[in-house]
Every structure is written in structure tokens, then in C-alpha cells.
Amino acid sequence: MQEGAHGQATRFRLRAMRLAQMIRSADPDLAAALSTGLTEHSSLTRLDSSVPLAEMPDLLSVESLPSIPTAPIWPKRVANDLLQIVGEWQSQDTLLAAGLHPIKTVLLHGPPGVGKTLAARWLATKLKMPLATLSLAATMNSYLGKTGQNITKVLDYARTHPCLLFLDEFDALAKRRSDDQDVGELKRVVNVLLQAVDQWNGPSLLVAATNHESLLDTAIVRRFEASIGFPLSTGQQISQVLKSQGVPTTQATSLGRRLQGRPISDATRLVISARKRAVLTDIPFEAALELTAAEQLHAQTPVENRRSTVAALHDAGKSAHQIAKELDISHTTVLRDLKVITES
């Protein structure tokens, strides 16, 4: 119960950190005030009661018994890659006896809402490891001198406490590089992290996630022992997720077709909204789902719809040529869309 309340507080704080990051260019003072306030209340992140407070680094949230919110549905290749990691850790004694070790560093990349965070949680539950999450965006947002210290402390923590260390929003590293004057200190921070990924051999599994793989240098990407690409959602994947949430098969198939390519989190959110609507307006769930889906799908014009798909593919690291081919539109349209997206 206590952990639940702390979990909510941590989620709230991470969201607030994200908000601070989003408003940074529009209102730097407000963003700085928000970040400072949140950093000062870092005790909220200390969930692991077995570790003395003094040892728990700032901004790290540790869940001793992580759980997954929904049963994940992965594309086959993703499922195979994740199962490979679980298999290696479960046979770690055999590997160690042969002078080998299980995969220790993994990069998860792909568009938003397709299950990267879910995968980290799922791995932690399968491996029965505590889940220690550090949002790099929030960390990089804090005063740079402190960022280095925080990251070093987090890495030391994971070197001494077996856990799944989840470095979320890993691309924040690359983003900060381009818009900061304090290049020397930043380089040091980046190097500390890169060296850690390179030489990771403690008791913990290090998992990093990004939805901007293209922002990361190839030098960074190839330091990871495994790199798992999460593709855009397919209609079949969405319909399976909807079915697992109690949506009748025919409706799930039809919605899957209409929602394909979107974040899977859109589909799960849709089900929750429809359930509430059904209860509050006293109509059958299936009807509420149809109404809510129609409203959400119509909220976007066909052009907006195309642009959000172009943006998602671009974020996933695809070139304009690849996007044009994938969506069967002209290269010029893609370039124009990307211009509008970056200017908005």
C-alpha cells in the first residue's frame, strides 16, 4: 500500500520533470523553478526500503517487486530477442562456467507507446530483479555539475545492488549536447555513461530506451551488446491488445485496422475511456468504444494523420526516402511534412 502511494508520487514527479523539459524553451525560469522543486523532493523516489536512504541516488526510482500493467503483445522478432535475454540470464551459471556471460547491456528503440518501458518492466519481472529507473531527461535537466554526480551514483548503485537498471529517454544525452554551452562538463558526463555501457560487468542488467535512435551516434549504439528495434504497431498487434482487454473479436479487428501505426497506448487508453463512458452514460461498452474511437480518429484530419505517421517514422530513424516508400507518398511530400513538423 505504502509502495503504491510512493509509486504514484514517483510517476507524478517524472511527469512533472517531463513537463519542465517541455516548457524549458518557452519559459526557462518556470522550468528551472519546477526542476529545482522536484529535485529537492527526491526522497519521493526512494521506494526500496532495504537500502539506507543515504545510499539511494537522487532521481533513481527503485521498485523491489515490479509488476506489469498489461500483458505485452510483441512482434515475433521483438519477442524472440527478449526471450533470448531471459534465457541467457536463467542459464547464467552454465554460461559463466564456460567463461561466458549473459547479455548485460540492451538498447530498446522505437516510436512512442509501443512497449519499450513495458519491455523493461517485463524483463525485470521475468528475471525477478528490482527495477531501478533513471529518467535521463530529468537528470540532464538538473544542474549539469550535479548530473555527472547523479549518474555516477546511479551506476555505482547498480554495480553493488543486483537490479535491472533502466535508463529511460537515453537520447536526452545527445539532445543536451547540441544546446548547451558547458561542453566540457557535458562531454565528461557522456563519457562516464558510455564507458559504463562499454565495460558493464556487474550483477545488474542495464537497459536503455529511446524513441530517437537517429539522435544517438552509431558509436553509442554499437556499445550495447543487444539492440532491439520496436516497429510501429500493426493492426494485428493492436487488435490482440484490444482483445486481451475484453474487446469482442470483430470490433477488435476493425479497430486494429483503423488504429494501426499509432501508439499501442492509444488503444489501451481508448478502452479505459470507453469503459468510463459506458458506466457514466449507461450505454453498452461496445457502443461506447465505437463512439469514443470515432471521436478520437476524427479529431485528426487526413493530413494531420499522415503527418503524425511521418513524424513517428522519422523519430524511428527512417530516412525521407524510406518514409516515402513505406507510406507510398512522394519524397517531396515527406520533406514538406518534416518541415512543418519541425517548425511547429
Interacting residues with ligand ATP (CB under 6 A): 69-70, 72-74, 112-118, 211, 241, 264-265, 268
Rounded CA gap, 143 and 147, in Å? 6
Grid coordinates 503504491 are at which residue?
4
Helix, strand or coil for residue 226? strand
Q: Of the two residues 70 and 254, which places its CB atom closer to ligand ATP in the complex?
A: 70
- What minimum distance in Å lies between the beta carbon of 117 and ligand ATP? 3
CA 12 and chain centroid, separation: 16
Rounded CA gap, 8 and 6, in Å? 5
Judged by beta carbon distances under 5 to 8 A according to partner kind, the member of Mg ion, ligand ATP, none in contact with residue 103 is none
| Start-end of H helices in 41-166 | 76-90, 92-97, 116-126, 136-141, 144-160
- What minimum distance in Å lies between the beta carbon of 263 and ligand ATP? 7
Q: Of the two residues 264 and 334, which places its CB atom closer to ligand ATP in the complex?
A: 264
Q: Of the two residues 168 and 337, which places its CB atom closer to Mg ion in the complex?
A: 168
Per the CB < 8 A criterion, the answer to whether 339 and 318 are in contact is: no
Q: Of the two residues 88 and 169, which places its CB atom closer to Mg ion in the complex?
A: 169
Reading phi first (left if > 0) and then psi (alpha if -120 to 50, else beta), residue 226 is in beta
Kind of pairing between the strands at 105-109 and 226-229? parallel
The type of residue at 220 is I
Q: Of the two residues 161 and 237, which places its CB atom closer to ligand ATP in the complex?
A: 237
- What minimum distance in Å lies between the beta carbon of 230 and ligand ATP? 6
- What minimum distance in Å lies between the beta carbon of 233 and ligand ATP? 8
The torsion of the CA quartet 53, 55, 56, 57, rounded to 10 degrees, works out to: 130
- What minimum distance in Å lies between the beta carbon of 308 and ligand ATP? 14
Cell numbers for 37: 522543486
Closest residue to ligand ATP: CB criterion? 115
Cell numbers for 4: 503504491
Q: Of the two residues 89 and 122, which places its CB atom closer to ligand ATP in the complex?
A: 122
Closest residue to Mg ion: CB criterion? 117
Rounded CA gap, 43 and 270, in Å? 34
Judged by beta carbon distances under 5 to 8 A according to partner kind, the member of ligand ATP, Mg ion, none in contact with residue 229 is none
Judged by beta carbon distances under 5 to 8 A according to partner kind, the member of Mg ion, ligand ATP, none in contact with residue 69 is ligand ATP
- What minimum distance in Å lies between the beta carbon of 336 and ligand ATP? 26
Interacting positions 94-123 with Mg ion (CB under 5 A): 116-117
Binding site for Mg ion (CB under 5 A): 116-117
